[in-house]
């Protein structure tokens, strides 16, 4: 199987927390938007608490997003890393992701979000699809 693909990057990470829209959802879902973050050294606990507080009331039960995950990198540390945390917004289908993205209005960051931006940088967002490989 490895001969059919080229590895372009690898990293070790752990899940910090997952939130599901409801009990019917199984994560990972079929489509995810991975947001690669660079958190400032010494601000890891602060950042994790800020992210978790955004979803303290859970996800919109009528929304298209089926889940949300927060993960952190555990294989490398240092100021020169491109990313050390990530979040994933999960969707049941690519169509649901597009609908959600197309209907997100422009907004300015409130004070809470401005505080989060002071401890982390959003490096990149990438859409992924779940793939299951069998030998």
pTM for the whole structure: 0.88
Q: How far apart are CA 131 and CA 135, in angstroms?
A: 13
Contact 91, 97 (CB under 8 A): yes
> Can you say whether the dihedral through the CA atoms of 128, 88, 130, 76 is positive or negative?
positive
Domain assignment of residue 93, given as a range: 2-129
Q: Would residue 65 count as lying in a domain?
A: yes
Q: Give the tokens for residue 131.
A: 């793939």
CB-CB contact of 92 with 31 (8 Å)? yes
120, β-bridge pairs: 39
What is the Cα gyration radius of the chain?
Answer: 16
Assigned domain for 23 exists: yes
135 belongs to a structural domain: no
Count of domains observed in the chain: 1
Could you tell me if residue 120 is inside a domain?
Answer: yes
Residue 122 lies inside a defined structural domain of this protein: yes
Q: Do the domain assignments include residue 56?
A: yes
Could you tell me the CATH number of the domain that includes residue 89? 3.30.70
Look at residue 62 in the predicted model and tell me its pLDDT.
Answer: 95
Residue 112 lies in a domain: yes
Task: Please check whether residue 134 lies inside any domain of the structure.
Answer: no
| pLDDT tens-digit profile, the chain (135 residues) | 456 667 677 899 999 999 999 999 999 999 999 999 999 999 999 999 999 999 999 999 999 999 999 999 999 988 889 999 999 999 999 999 999 999 988 889 899 889 999 999 999 999 999 877 665
* Whole-number Å distance between alpha carbons of 18 and 46: 18
Cα dihedral 55/57/61/63 (nearest 10) = -40
């Amino acid at each position: 199987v490895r001969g059919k693909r080229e590895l372009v990057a690898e990293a070790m990470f752990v899940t910090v927390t997952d939130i599901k829209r409801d009990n019917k959802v199984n994560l990972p879902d079929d489509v995810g938007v991975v947001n690669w973050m660079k958190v400032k050294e010494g601000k890891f606990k602060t950042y994790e608490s800020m992210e978790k507080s955004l979803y303290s009331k859970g996800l919109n039960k009528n929304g298209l997003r089926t889940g949300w995950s927060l993960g952190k990198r555990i294989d490398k540390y240092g100021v020169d890393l491109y990313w050390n945390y990530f979040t994933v917004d999960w969707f049941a289908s690519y169509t649901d992701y597009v609908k959600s993205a197309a209907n997100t209005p422009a907004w300015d960051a409130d004070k809470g979000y401005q505080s989060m931006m002071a401890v982390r940088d959003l490096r990149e967002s990438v859409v992924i699809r779940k793939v299951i490989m069998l030998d």
